[in-house]
Structure 1
Amino acid sequence: MAKSKFTDEDDLLLAELGVEIEVKKAPKRTAKEERIIAGFEEIQRFFEENSRPPLHGEDRDIFERIYATRLDSIRANKEAVTLIQDMDHQGLLVADNQVTETQATYDTDDELLEALGVNTPQEGDVNFLKHVKTRAEVRAAEEIATRTFCEDFETFAPMFELIQKELKSGIRDSLLIPKNVQKLPEVKQGDWFILFGQKTYIANFSKEKKFGYDNNDYRLRVIYDNKTESDLLLRSLQKALERDEGSRRIIDHGAGPLFSNTQEDGDFESGIIYVLQSRSEFPYIKDNHQVIHKIGVTNDSVERRISSAKDDPTFLMAEVEIVAQYQLFNINRTKLEALLHRFFEDAKLSVTIIDRFGKPIVPREWFLVPLSVIDEVVEKLKDGCLSDYRYDTKSAKVVEI
């Protein structure tokens, strides 16, 4: 018999007052109903983390594709809708949040896998083995099962945010991973990829070769931008990168030799990094002109570029002097300039110049940086190690991160 939340004395008092006590029994759920509720709660967590319902698509994470298919099935099932409609505080069941115009339903795992593009043989087929999973099912199950919530994601969150900023600014780029080649994609600890639309970080690489069917594989710790992680085998990740037609490798433009002062056979001239000092009579600039430099990149003659400096607010409406030039070969000028400006961001000069039409202008590309530091940064760019350093404005030095 279900117990009341009141004590015996409370029950007697309420009875004397003529108040009937109704004891509510918790509804008994079937296994199917419990499964529907648990599945819908996972969809709700996805909505809370991403501020949108899950979507279909080959470029989506396999978790999201499962949630989208599951949500379609729930919406199309009147009994399921009735069961969970009181839980739907996010409006996932209403028309405004429909994922697709055509809704799909599934009653078995096989139907779900088929909806995700994983075909499973039926009984009677040559490839059918009862109680034995197909390789397609095993791969799909492995990709799902090995993903878990990353408990220490706050440690990696700043890295993902920085990668996004650097991709947007051009400091980093993403290159499509070649498909249908003899060699699987190379993967190392610290590498970044875009896999099924998600930024993916290789956080750890096992040191022992004791994994896989031949005990000759590495175990990885892989972190994804949706706050999950997996412990895939190296070969499993490599094959996933091969299967995903849109997989990309995220590269750092400072990861290798970017330019040279001499031209090698096969190189083509791309432009010049130039460093200028101003001859402005503006008091602050005049007093500090030895450490105030404009850093730019051009594919034109620097002399021609600065020929009208005294009439151009970009050059502080004054004559300038060229104090350094570095010839570039085989380089993207725009992205290199963005990288340099990002490196010296904290030392950017903040000054307002009035142009010849009386309009206030805030020039960019001017920095409070000694020429010796710029030379040092150029050398580190050549060596491919600039990403290991930062500019410290207090000491006016390049320091190791």
Structure 2
Amino acid sequence: MPKLSDDELLDLLGVDQEIVKTSAHSPREERIIAGFKEIQRFVDQYGRAPQYGEDKDIFERLYAVRLNRIRELEECRTLLAPVDHQGLLSGGGMSHTKSVGLLDDDALLSELEGAAGPSGITELRHVRSRAEIRAAEEIANREKCEDFGRFQPLFEQAERELKSGVRQTRPFGKDASVNTGNFFILGGQLVYVAEKGEEFQAPNGHPDARLRVIYSNGTESNLLLRSLQRALYKDEAGRRLTEPDFGPLFSSTWDEGDIESGTIYVLRSLSNHPFVAEHRELIHKIGVTGGKVETRIANAANDATYLLADVEVVASYKLAGINRTKLEGIFHRIFAPAQLDLTIQDRFGHPVRPKEWFFVPLHVIDEAVICIRDGSITNMAYDPKTASLVRLVQ
């Protein structure tokens, strides 16, 4: 196959136009910086560099391949060195990630095919029709999103809901509709439809509309609805994100004959870790179980999930007719801004970052349970600054 140019390779890696405050860099350099910043955000969130593997999600696998390619290009290392505060260019925090440095172009394309789907690779290897080229140009014509701050919380929430199961992904072809507020995965990136103009009739007689589409890397494009549909159809990894599904969580009534099906439990750690000891009254683990809480925590002192220490149950709420998976997803979404950022060593000396521990007062958890019972939790969020639940603006 012909050797790829730098721009073609950057397109393949999914590095789009960067959000920069000055024009000191060329468009190509801005795209490189944008891709690197996405990787840095991943490291900030998870405390490690992205890794390649079949058990990793599509975003992490894409970032891992991209980071390895950046490392082997001297031009990229020179450009990004001033902003590499995490030591990623020198291999900091990287483990068990396939090296791309020894791969030829075909092998690199194979790696990317596994991470992002084969559609873009097929287009690179074969001559495309004028219609395909025109559609690709429409998708690629992106610019900096000046008000991205408005949309970034929406992307972060959608990712949390996807990982917690509140949202699901579906192949695009089963539902080809596109409306304001929809999320999609296209080319390994989250895509949000922020605006949809009035519909008009396209030359082929089909309805069409102009869209304002925001991408998770801070760029946007003003493209036609049917252009977005074509791109999603052609991307075998293209997906629609379903709308959040929060219910049904509980049965409408709880009579004497009802069967208890779940218990929310709130734990407080008895760890002597300095930070935990100092803030013991505010650090809580929230979980849901269908069995006995006592059985669940019996081995807490030997389990890194429980900070390798005994715990005490400070609150529990018995529930009937509950969907436990959805309920845990709601708690994780609501209190994600207050998730405890703490790394401890397990029994084998390996670093562990326990989940489901939150820096939240107990009375706020009580309030969240009340909101779950009456269904109002779907419109609530936790504000760490005021340590309270706040209603989302509709």
Scaled by the length of structure 1, the TM-score of the pair is: 0.50
Tell me the equivalent position of 2:40: none
Kindly, what percent of the aligned residue pairs are identical? 27
Opposite residue 357 of structure 2, the aligned amino acid is E
Once the two structures are TM-superposed, the CA of residue 201 in structure 1 deviates from its matched residue by: 1.5
Gaps of 5+ in 2: 10-25, 37-57, 59-73, 78-100, 110-121, 345-351
Alignment partner for residue 256 of structure 1, among 202, 225, 246?
246
Tell me the equivalent position of 1:275: 265
- Is contact 2:183–2:192 with CA below 8 Å preserved after alignment? yes
Residue 337 in structure 1 maps to residue 328 in structure 2:
yes
- Is contact 2:138–2:227 with CA below 8 Å preserved after alignment? no
Once the two structures are TM-superposed, the CA of residue 318 in structure 1 deviates from its matched residue by: 5.7
Residue 369 in structure 1 maps to residue 361 in structure 2:
yes
Structure 1 residues 344, 352: CA separation in 2 closer, same or farther (over 3 Å shift)? same
Tell me the equivalent position of 1:325: 318
Opposite residue 240 of structure 2, the aligned amino acid is R
Distance across 2 between alignment mates of 1:369 and 1:149: 44
- Is contact 1:310–1:319 with CA below 8 Å preserved after alignment? no
Scaled by the length of structure 2, the TM-score of the pair is: 0.51
Structure 1 residues 215, 176: CA separation in 2 closer, same or farther (over 3 Å shift)? closer
Opposite residue 196 of structure 2, the aligned amino acid is F
Alignment partner for residue 210 of structure 2, among 181, 201, 219?
219
Structure 1 residues 295, 331: CA separation in 2 closer, same or farther (over 3 Å shift)? closer
Structure 1 residues 293, 327: CA separation in 2 closer, same or farther (over 3 Å shift)? farther
Once the two structures are TM-superposed, the CA of residue 210 in structure 1 deviates from its matched residue by: 2.9
Tell me the equivalent position of 1:75: none
State the secondary structure of the residue aligned to 1:232: strand
Tell me the equivalent position of 1:79: none
Once the two structures are TM-superposed, the CA of residue 194 in structure 1 deviates from its matched residue by: 0.7
Count residues in correspondence: 284
Distance across 2 between alignment mates of 1:138 and 1:99: 27
State the secondary structure of the residue aligned to 1:236: helix
Residue 177 in structure 1 maps to residue 141 in structure 2:
no
State the secondary structure of the residue aligned to 1:344: helix
Superposed CA deviations along residues 369-396 of structure 1, whole A, max 9, x for unmatched, are: 344x435434655787646432234544
State the secondary structure of the residue aligned to 2:331: helix
Distance across 2 between alignment mates of 1:97 and 1:90: 18
Once the two structures are TM-superposed, the CA of residue 199 in structure 1 deviates from its matched residue by: 2.0
Once the two structures are TM-superposed, the CA of residue 325 in structure 1 deviates from its matched residue by: 2.6
Distance across 2 between alignment mates of 1:352 and 1:212: 56
Residue 203 in structure 1 maps to residue 209 in structure 2:
no
- Is contact 2:251–2:320 with CA below 8 Å preserved after alignment? yes
Distance across 2 between alignment mates of 1:381 and 1:237: 37
Tell me the equivalent position of 2:235: 244
State the secondary structure of the residue aligned to 2:193: strand
Distance across 2 between alignment mates of 1:351 and 1:147: 40
- Is contact 1:174–1:248 with CA below 8 Å preserved after alignment? no
Structure 1 residues 381, 190: CA separation in 2 closer, same or farther (over 3 Å shift)? farther
Alignment partner for residue 99 of structure 1, among 95, 102, 105?
105
- Is contact 1:192–1:202 with CA below 8 Å preserved after alignment? yes
Whose radius of gyration is greater, 1 or 2? 1
Tell me the equivalent position of 2:141: 148
State the secondary structure of the residue aligned to 1:235: helix
